[in-house]
Amino acid sequence: MGGKRDHTNDHQGTNTVTEDAIADQTDTAAPTPTGTSADVAETSSDADADALHGGRLLVLTGPAGVGKGTVEVALRKKHPEVWVSVSATTRDPRPGEVNGVNYWFMSEDEFAAKEQAGEFLETALVHGMAHYGTPLKPLEEHLAVGTPTILEIDLQGARRVKEKAAELGLEVMTVFIAPPSFDELVRRLTGRGTETEEQRRRRLETAKIELAAESEFDVTIVNEKVEQAADDLWNVIAKEYGIDA
Ligand SMILES: Nc1ncnc2c1ncn2[C@@H]1O[C@H](COP(=O)(O)OP(=O)(O)OP(=O)(O)O)[C@@H](O)[C@H]1O
Ligand SMILES: Nc1nc2c(ncn2[C@@H]2O[C@H](COP(=O)(O)O)[C@@H](O)[C@H]2O)c(=O)[nH]1
């Protein structure tokens, strides 16, 4: 697998991930859960890890505010056949975020019950603040039909998926999205304006740990310019899935 690190030089203007932009991600390639968080339970109750055998996916990781969500939206605009897994989370929705589109938002109790029931591929406590998890059932459904699939998860989740890949018979390509500089990362996170000062501080602490782990990933894409980063990501996907780019 890769090892490429892509650099571009000019910045793109800020580009907030809006509800409308994310709504564009409506899946066309395979079934996607919709509705309330209760639907996750319905679709995930028979989760069977064997169903992932032979599946192929991309794990996308990068520090808070680097632009992962923004790049995914740009990618999905050009390549709607790519599916980005919708995670469960116990954090509160940001303004404009929609349940079942951005995340499956749920209480800590609901999350713990699903975790206990084995409904997640992986889970993590992120930034020491909220739990996040990748629902298994929709992932199985997409991998079964060969949909190009992205899990946007944190470093702990990426490590967990890599550890489990062999046992599950999964082909996993890991991609790290890096900022052009730490200062620019701080600017983007601050500019997004969705966190309190304390939340931002915690995210930047996590960011330092994640940036130090970049070499664990198969490929690094530096997000200087959103469209270029989305094209770079598509090239990785196309290569991984044997698609003519
Ligand atoms: N290439 C870029 N140049 C300038 N601004 C960018 C670029 N990419 C993203 N941004 C801006 O940076 C901010 C953070 O982007 P985004 O929310 O996509 O980050 P993220 O990595 O998904 O963050 P988190 O992990 O905290 O959810 C947004 O305001 C977005 O518009
Ligand atoms: N381990 C997992 N990490 C996840 C999952 N879904 C999202 N994430 C990561 O959490 C942070 C914070 O996300 P935010 O939306 O609150 O800014 C970010 O790094 C995501 O990539 C998951 O299912 N598992």
Which bound ligand lies closest to the C-alpha atom of 121? 2
- Dmax (CA) of the chain: 48
Residue 44 has pLDDT above 90, yes or no: no
CA 201 – CA 204 distance, rounded (Å): 5
CA 225 – CA 244 distance, rounded (Å): 23
Query: Collapsing DSSP states into helix, strand and coil, what is residue 15?
Result: coil
* Average pLDDT across the chain, whole number: 85
Q: Atom 7, ligand 1: which residue's CA is nearest?
A: 67
66 is in an annotated binding site: yes
Strands 149-152, 83-84: pairing kind: parallel
Residue-wise pLDDT tens digits, 189-234: 999 999 999 999 999 999 999 999 999 999 999 999 999 999 999 9
- CA 231 to ligand 1 center in whole angstroms: 16
59 is in an annotated binding site: no
Model-level pTM? 0.86
Percent of the chain with pLDDT over 90: 78
Of 6, 12, 17, 70, the residue with max ligand 1 atoms within 8 A of its CB, to mutate for a pocket test, comes to: 70
ipTM > 0.95 (yes/no)? yes
Residue 29 has pLDDT above 80, yes or no: no
Shortest-distance atom of ligand 2 to CA 60: 21
Q: Atom 14, ligand 2: which residue's CA is nearest?
A: 64
Which bound ligand lies closest to the C-alpha atom of 159? 2
Q: Atom 26, ligand 1: which residue's CA is nearest?
A: 64
Residue where the block lists tokens 């200087």: 224
Torsions phi, psi for 56 (to 5 deg): -135, 130
Residues with CB under 6 A from ligand 2: 64, 87, 91, 122, 124, 126, 132-134, 152-154, 156-157
**Element containing residue 184 per DSSP (H, E):** helix 182-192
Asked whether the beta carbons of 172 and 161 are under 8 A apart, the reply is yes
- CA 189 to ligand 1 center in whole angstroms: 7
Reported confidence tier of residue 147, pLDDT bands at 50, 70, 90: very high
